[in-house]
Structure 1
Amino acid sequence: MTSPFERPGRATMAALICAMAPLVAHAQMQAFDIAAGDLRAGIDQFARETRAQLIYRLQDVQGLRTQGVKGSHEPDRALELLLAGTPLKFRRDGTALVIYRPAPEAAAEAPEINALETVTVTAQRRPEAAQTVPIALTAFNAAALETHRIHSLQDASRLTPGLLVSAFSPSNPTIAIRGANNTFNQMGVSKPVAVVVDDVFIPRNSAASFELFDLDSLTVLKGPQGTLFGRNVTGGAIVINTAKPAYGQRLNRAEISLGNFDSVQVNALTNLPLGEEQALKISAAVKRHGGYGSDRLTGREQDDLDSRNARAQLRLGLSRDVEALVSADYAEDASGGRTLSSTTLGDDGNRRTSELGVPQGYGRTLWGVSAKLEWALPAGELTSVTALRHSRSAEDYSGVGASHTLLTAGSQSVTSDAERVRTVSQELRYASPRWKTGDFQVGAFLLDEDGSRQLGVRGFAARTGVLASSTLADQRVRTRSYSLFADGSWHLLPTLDLVAGVRYTHDRKTADLVRTDALRPASSFTAQGLSAAWSEVTPRVALNWQPSREALLYASVTKGFTAGGFNTDAASLASLTTPFNPETVVNKELGLKSQWFGNRLRINLSVFDMRYRDKQEFVNNTVTGILTITNASEATIKGREIEVALKPLSWLGLSLNHGHLDARYDRFVIGSINYTGNPLASTPRNKTSVAADLRLPLAGLGHFIGAVSYARLTSYNTGAANDPNLQIPGYELVNANVGLESADGRWRVLAWLKNAANRAYILTRSTQVVRAEYLGEPRTVGLTAAMRF
C-alpha cells in the first residue's frame, strides 16, 4: 500500500519537474546591473552574477573605480566594460579569468601573479570567494587539482585537515570529516558525510568514490550541513563542481600518462560552441593498471584497475533570463578485489600477497542524468536541479585473511555483495538579491531512493573446506525524504552580520528482508513492509564580523541530523524489526579567515566542539549475541584546524595545514559492553600536510613547473572497541611532480612520483579468525604529456 507520505512526495516532485519544463525556450545574453563605484566591489559582483572564477591581486584593484555595467552583454564584454578607464586587462586561463596590470613595455603580456588565487565556492549555494564564506572549508580550484594531481577523494584528503578517506574494500570506502562517519554497508543506511556533484546528492558511498577529472572545484565543508545542502548530514559535505561548457570557445584537450604497474591513463575533452549561447562539452577518461598485490594461492592479480568514465554537458541560454545545464555521465570499473594479507597463519612475509585461495573480484557501473535551470527573476534567482542516478556494484571477497586450508579452527568466510540503487531527486530554491540590509534563500528538496542488495555469506570449515554455513540476505529499502529550508543574512552593522537558518527534514524508510539459511532452515525468516519515519528541525545561527578587508571572524552554532534506519544485515527477526534512531549533533565553532600583504599570506583558523546524541554505531550486542547498528548515546569531538598559504614569490606557492581532534564517547553502555571514554573511530589525533608548488619562467622556453607534498597522520582506531589489533598505525606520504609547460600553456610534460618512500600504510585491519591487513597504494611513478589545441 502506498503511504500518505509517498503520494504527495511523488506528486510534488512531478509538479516541480513539469513546472520547470516550459522554461526551456529561448537564447540571449546576460543582464547586468553593476553600479559605478569601487572596482573591487564591482568585480566581486560580476563573479557572483556570472559564476566566473576570478584571479586578481588586491594591490592591482585597490583605489580604482569603475563606471559600472548596465544592460545585456556577453560576460567577456561586460568585464571589459567594467575595467574600462582603468589600467587593468584580463585574460582567460583555463576556466579562470585573470585580471592583471600590463607592464608598460609589453602591455599585451600578462605578468606572473604574485598573489594567492581567489577560489570561488558555492558553500552557501551562491558563488562566493572562499575567504568571504563564514564556514570552515578547504577548497581546491581547477589549477590546484591539476598542480597536485588530485585524482580521487583519497588524494584530496591528504591535503585537507579534518578529512580522512580510507577503504574497507573497493565497494566500501570510509569517508570521515572531523571523525563523523560510519562504516555500515546495509541498504538504506544514511551517511553522515554528503558527496554532492553539480548540486546532485550521491546517496551511497559505493557510488561516491570515483576518478576526478575535468573539474572546476572541489570543496570540503566541515561540520553539520543542516540548512543549505540537499541532504541533512551531521559531519560535512564534499562539494564537487565539474567545469561547465564555455560559450564561444572551441577547445580540445588530451592527456596521457604512463607509469609502473603497466599503468595507462588517458583523459580527453572537447568543448564545442553551438551558437552564441549554446555549448556542448564531452569529456572522457580511461585508466588501467596492473595489480599492486596478488593471491599466491590462486595466482590472481588483486588491487588492479580497469576504469572508464565519460560525461556530456549541454549548456544553453534558453531565454533572456534562463540558462540550462543538461548533463549525462557514465562510469564503469573493475578489479580483482583487495589484497587482504595474513600477518599470522600462512604469512609468507610479503605484505603485498594474500593467502585467500578463493576468486575475488569487484565491478561497478554508474550512470546519471541531470538538468539544472537557473532563472534570473526581476528580484533574485530561482534554481531547479532535477536528477536521476543509478548505480550497480558487485564484490566477492574473503572476510577472513587466510584460506581454510591454512586454518586450524573456525572457518573461512567468503562474501558475495551485490547492490543496485536508483535515486530521483529534485531541489528547488530561491535566492534573493543582495540588498543593503541582507539577503536570504529558501527552498525545498525531495529524494526518492530505491535500493536492493543481495548479501551472500558462506563459511568453509578449517582444513576440510566443507561448507559450514551459507546465508543469503535479500534486502530492499526505499527512502522518501523531503525538506524545507531557509537561510538568511542581516547586516546589523557595516561590519557585522547575523546569519540564521533552519531546515525541516522528514524521512520515511520502508524495508523488506528475506533471509535464507541454507544449512539451518529454522533460522530463515522473512519480513516485509517494515516502516519508520523520523522528522527533525535543524537550525543554524552565526555572527560574522569583518573588522577589515583582510579579516573575517565568525562564531556559529549549527545542528545536523542523520536519519535512522533498519538493520537489514540482521541475523534475527527481532533485530531487524527494531529500527535504530537518528543521530543528531550540535556544533559550536569559532573561526578566523584572513589574508594579508596583498593576498600573499592567507591564515584560516577554526576551533570547534561537536556534541552527539544517539550516535549510530555497529557493535556486537552481548545481550542478543548479534551484530547490529545501535545508538551509542553521547559523544564529543573537540578540535582545531589551521590552514596557512603563502606566495613569497610570483613563481612559488607554499601551504601548511594542520588538524587536531580529541574525540571520546561520553557514554556508551550496551549490555556488558562499556566503551565509555574510548576514542571514536577514524579520528587521528593529529593530521598535518605541507605542500609547495612552483611555476618558474624560463626565458624562451615557457615554465618549469612542479609540486611536492608531505602528509602525516597519527594512529587511529577503526571501531569503538579500542582494540589494539584493529588500530591503524600513523604514517607519512610524500608525492612530487616536475616538468615543463609551454609559454602559451598549450603543452605540458610532467614526471610524477606518488608515495615516494614506498610506505606500506594500512587501510584496514581484520581480526576475523586470523589477523590480517589491507595496504594502500605502493610507490607509483610515471610520465604525463598534455596538450591543448
Structure 2
Amino acid sequence: MTTYKKTSALPFPINKVLNSVVAALCALSAPVAFAQQDTSDELERIEVTAQKRVQSINDVPASISAFEGSRLDELGLNELDMISDLTPGLVIQEQSPNNPGFVIRGITSDSGSAQASPRVSVYYNGVDVSRSRGSYFELFDIERVEVVKGPQATLFGTAASVGAISVITRKPEPGFSAELSAGAGNESQKRLGGFINGGSELVSGRLAFSYRERDGFIENIAPGQDDMNGIDRQALRGSLRFQPSDAVTADLIYSYEKNEDTGTSFKNGIFAPTGGDTSPYSFVEMTGSPYSASVLGREKLGLDRTVDDINLTVDWTISPRLSFTSVSGYRSFDSLEVFDADGTQAWFLEFGEDAEGDQFSQEFRFNYAGDNLLMLWGINYFTEDGSQRVPFSTEESIFLNCAGALPSGLPCINADGSVNQLTPVLTGGALQEIPYAGEFTNFGDNESWSAFVDFTYQLNDKTEVAAGIRYVSEDRESGFAATMPNSQLLPLLGLPTQTLLPTVSTDGEVFTASNSSDAWLPRFNILYKLNDNNNWFATISKGRRSEVVDVSSTLDADGEAAGDFGLIPAEVIWNYETGLKGNLTENRVRYSASVFYQDYSDFQVTLQDDSGNFYTANAGSATNFGVETEINANLGAGIELFGHLAYLDAKIDDDSTNGSLAGNRFRLQPEWTSSLGVIYEAALSSQYALRGSVVGTYRSEVFFEPENAPVAGLDISQDSVSLVNASLGLYNDSADWSLALKATNLFDKEYLVDAGNTGGSFGNPTFISGPPRLFYLEFTKKFGM
C-alpha cells in the first residue's frame, strides 16, 4: 500500500506543539522573550453578542471562542481557515474559496449541492451566508470573530445544527482615521490593504479594502497552464452609519469580493507527470481539456468567483428596557471553477463547476431587559435559490482506457509520460480523436420562516436559567437536469450504446420535486456563579439539518428518461454539555473547559457517485463525545501565553443497520487538536518596541473520506501534523508605523489538506498538498489614530 503521511515520534500532542514553539522561540526571539517591560497585568476583557446582546464571554452558558480584530492582525490571521488553528473543536479546510469545508466537533459542512443544507452557520454582520460556494470571504478590518459550538438553532437558525461562526466587521466612527498596509514575500506574494474612515456623530463612513496575490506553490509543467494553488483575491467593503438620535443606529454595509485563483493541485497518486513522481508535493502536469473554453467555460484551470453582499441593520432603543433590531441581508455569488480531476497529463477527467446563488433574509427581533428577566423574541424569513452545473470533457478512448474499460493491455499513461490515445487504432485511422462533452446540474429553491423566543431568568445572585425555542417551517424544491450524449466509440467496438458517465440524460428537461416540513428546536441552559470571576454552566439543545429532496435521473420501464426522487430524512442532534469558564489571579488568566455528548439520528453523509456527482445519504445513528479547553495568561514582562487542547471521539454507530459506514470516524475529524502560542513585546527605546508571536498547532490523524478506507491501494488519510507560525515586528507607536515579518508553516512541513476527491470515484485518487513555508514583510502606517 502506498501512503503519503508525515509522522512524529513524540507520543502526546502538547509535547509536539511545545517543542515546536520552544524551537521557534530560540531561533527567532530568545532575547525578546525575557526582556522586561511594565505592562498591565489584566487580560483584555472580551465581550460577545452570541446571545444577541452584549455580554462578557464568561457569562455565555455555551462553549464559545472569540477573537478581537486586533488579535487577528497581530497574528496575521487573514483567512478563515487560520482561525481554526486556535479554536478547539473547529477545523476549516480551504481547497479554494469556492470549496471550503467547515467542521465543528467533527461534523463537516462542505456540500456544494444546491439540494443540501449546511450544518454550520456562517454569519457575516448578523446575516446567514452559509451556502458553501458563497460562504468564504477575506478577513480584513474585522472587529471580532465568534465561534459558538453545539446546536444554536434558537439564536442562529436551522443552519447552525452543530454550531456557528459569526464575523463582525469594524463599523464607521466619527472623526478621521486611516490605515495603509503593503507587503511582499516569497512565491511572489503581494499584499495591499487598509481603510479610510470619516464623518460626524450623525453620519460616518468607512471604506476598507484587501488585495492579495501569490504564485502557485505547485509547479505545473503543462504548456499554457499556471502553477497550481496560486491566489489572486480582491475585496472591498463600504460601510455607512447613520445615527439620527441616541436611540437609533442604522448600519448599511456593501461587500464585494473577486477571486481569480489558479486552481487546486489534484496530484494523481497512480500516474506521474512526465519526468516526475506521484508525490503530492512535487510538480504536476495538469493539462486540462483542449476544449476547456467552449465546454467548461474557461480556457485555463482555475477559479473565477464573484460575491456581492449588502446588509442593513437598524437598532432602536425604544425604552431603557426594550429595544428593537431589524437585520436585512442580500448575498449573491457566481463561481466558475475548472479543474483537472484526474490530476495528470491525460485528457481524462476534466470538469468544471459553475455554481451560482442568491440569498435574502429578514429578521425582526426584540430584546427586553427587566430586573430579573431577559427576553428575546422575533421572526425570521430566509429564501435562497441556487444551481450547481457540472460540465465534463474527455476524449473517449482515453477515458475508456484510463477507466479500465478497454482490453488494450496498455496503461493510461506510459512510463515516459506519454498518454495512450487509441482512437486512431480503434477506428482504423478514420478518426484521430473523439471529443466527448456532457453536463449535469442540480437546482435548489428553498424558503423558510421561523419564530423564536428565548428567556433568561435570574433566580438569585448566583443562578440564572434560560430556555428558548425556535419554530421553523420550510418549503424545499430540488431539480436535476443532464445533457449526456451516448458514446460514439462504444458501438464501433461492438459494445452496447451508452453514455460515458453513468448519468441518464434528460436532454435538458429539468425534473423537480418538493417537500414541506416544520420543526420545534429548543435549548435549555443554566449558569451558576461559583464566585465573582468563575462560572459553571450546563446546556441541552436540539439541532436539525433539513431534509434533502434528492432528485436525479433514471430510466423508466419504457427506457425513457424519468426523474429519480428520494427524501433523505432530517438529521437531528441532541447536545448535552457542561463546563467551567472564568478568570483567575485578578484576570491575568482566562480559561474555559467543557465536556459534551452528542446523539445523532439519520446522520447525513456526503458521498460521490460514479459520475463524480456529490449526493447526500443517510448513514443512520452516530454519537460524539468530546472535551474542549482554552486558556489565556498574562505572564508579565510583556509576555502573553494562550492555547487550547481538545479531544473528540466521533463516529457512526457500529450497528449493522447503519450500513457499510458503521463504526467509521467522521470525515476531517481529528481525535486530538491543540495549540500553544506566545505574544511578546520588548521596549527598545522610548519610541521603538519589538513585538512578535509564535504559535504552534497540532492535529492528529484525519480521514478524508467517510469510508475510512484506501482507494486503489492508496491511503486516503493524513497522519498527525504539527505546524508553527511566527511574526516579528518593529513598532513606532508615536509615529504610528510598523514593519513586521510574518511566516506560516515556519519549518516547511509537508502535509495534505485533502485526498481521494473526484478522481477517487474513478479509481484515480488525487492528493492536495498544504501550503509550504510562506513569509512576507509588511509595512503599516496609521493616520489620525
Report the TM-score when normalising by structure 2.
0.82
C-alpha distance 625-311 of structure 1, shift in aligned 2 (>3 A)? closer
1:560 paired residue among 538, 543, 552: 543
Structure 2: distance between partners of 1:571 and 1:729: 40
The match for 2:779 is: 785
Structure 1 partner of 2:731: 741
Once the two structures are superposed, the pairs formed by residues 19-418 of structure 1 within 5 Å of their partners are 112-247=39-174, 249-273=175-199, 275-298=200-223, 299-346=225-272, 348-349=276-277, 351-358=281-288, 359-378=300-319, 379-404=321-346, 412-418=348-354
- The separation in 2 between residues aligned to 1:126 and 1:698, in whole angstroms, is 42
Change (3 A) 1:168 1:309: closer
Asked if the contact 1:170–1:337 (Cα under 8 Å) also holds between the matched residues in 2, the reply is: no
CA positional deviation for 1:528:
3.7
1:423 match: 359
* Counterpart-to-counterpart distance in 2, 1:113 and 1:419: 50
Alignment of 1:576-655 (within 5 A): 576-619=564-607, 628-649=615-636, 651-655=638-642
Instruction: Give the Å deviation of 1:580.
Output: 1.5
How many Å separate the matches in 1 of 2:553 and 2:119? 21
- Using the TM superposition, give the Cα deviation of residue 669 of structure 1 relative to its aligned residue in structure 2, in angstroms: 5.5
Structure 2 residue aligned with 1:524? 505
| 1:706-743, Cα deviation, whole Å (9 max, x unpaired) | 01100010011122211142112221110000011113
Q: Kindly indicate whether the alpha-carbon contact (under 8 Å) linking 1:400 and 1:769 is maintained by their aligned counterparts in 2.
A: no
Q: How much has 1:469 moved relative to structure 2?
A: 5.8
The alpha-carbon deviation at position 626 of structure 1 amounts to: 9.1
Distance of 2:364 and 2:724 partners within structure 1: 43
Separation in 2, partners of 1:208, 1:674: 32
Question: Which deviations, in whole Å up to 9, do the C-alpha atoms of 1:9-40 show, x marking residues without a partner?
Answer: xxxxxxxxxxxxxxxxxxxxxxxxxxxxxxxx
1:158 match: secondary structure: helix
**Which range moved further: 571-580 or 714-723?**
571-580
Greater strand percent: which structure? 1
Superimposed CA distance per residue, residues 167-189 of structure 1 (whole angstroms, 9 cap, x where no aligned partner): 34542111101012144221132
Separation (CA, whole Å) in 2 of partners of 1:112 and 1:316: 37
Number of positions where the alignment pairs a residue of Structure 1 with one of Structure 2: 669
Q: Distance in 2 between matches of 1:362 and 1:545?
A: 50
Quote the Cα distance in structure 2 between the aligned partners of 1:468 and 1:668: 46
Whether the 8 Å contact between 1:114 and 1:651 is mirrored in structure 2 is no
CA distance in 2, matches of 1:501, 1:650: 45
CA contact (8 A) 2:120 2:159 kept: no
Q: Which residue of 2 aligns with 1:687?
A: 673
1:196 Cα deviation from its structure 2 partner: 0.3
Could you tell me whether the CA contact under 8 Å between 2:158 and 2:543 is conserved in 1? no
Quickly say closer, same or farther: Cα 1:570–1:759, change in 2 above 3 A.
farther
CA drift of 1:205 comes to 1.6
Match of 1:486 among 453, 456, 462: 453
Which residue is 1:31 aligned to? none
1:289-342 alpha-carbon deviations (Å, 9 max, x no partner): 111113223352211111111011111112342110011111101022111122
Q: Does 1:544 align with 2:527?
A: yes
- Which SS does the other structure have where 1:732 is aligned? strand
RMSD value, Cα: 2.3
CA distance in 2, matches of 1:676, 1:474: 31
Distance 1:608 1:330, change over 3 A: same
Report the secondary structure of 1:523's partner residue.
coil
Shift of 1:583: 0.7
Q: Counterparts of 2:735 and 2:532 in 1: how far apart (Å)?
A: 33
Q: Could you tell me which of 645, 653, 676 is aligned with 2:662?
A: 676
Structure 2 equivalent of residue 94 of structure 1: none
- How do residues 691-702 of structure 1 correspond to structure 2 at under 5 angstroms? 691-702=677-688
Deviation per residue, 1:629-682 (Å, 9 max, x gap) = 1111100010001111110105110012011100111156679x4221111112
Change beyond 3 A, Cα 1:217–1:745: farther
Q: Which residue of 2 aligns with 1:89?
A: none
Could you tell me whether the CA contact under 8 Å between 2:394 and 2:435 is conserved in 1? yes
CA 1:236–1:569: 2 relative to 1, 3 Å: farther
Partners of 1:627 and 1:722 in 2: CA distance: 17
Q: Counterpart amino acid of 1:483?
A: S
Structure 2 alignment gaps of length 5 or more: 1-36, 289-299, 403-419, 423-432, 487-497, 556-560
- C-alpha contact (below 8 Å) 1:570/1:627 kept by paired residues: no
> Contact between 1:458 and 1:467, CA under 8 Å: does it hold in 2?
no
Return the offset for 1:426.
0.3
The 3 A distance-change label for structure 1 pair 221 and 183 is same
CA shift at 1:754, angstroms? 1.1
Where 1:758 maps in the other structure, the secondary structure is: coil
* 1:23-73 Cα distance to aligned partner (Å, 9 max, x none): xxxxxxxxxxxxxxxxxxxxxxxxxxxxxxxxxxxxxxxxxxxxxxxxxxx
For 1:665, give the aligned amino acid: I
TM-score normalised by the chain length of structure 1? 0.81
Deviation for aligned residue 1:352: 3.7
Q: Residue 747 of structure 2 corresponds to which residue in structure 1? A: 757
Distance 2:552 2:716 in 1: 22
**In structure 2, what residue type is equivalent to 1:774?**
I
1:193–1:745 Cα change, 3 Å: farther
Alpha-carbon distance between aligned partners in 2 of 1:202 and 1:770, rounded to the nearest angstrom: 34
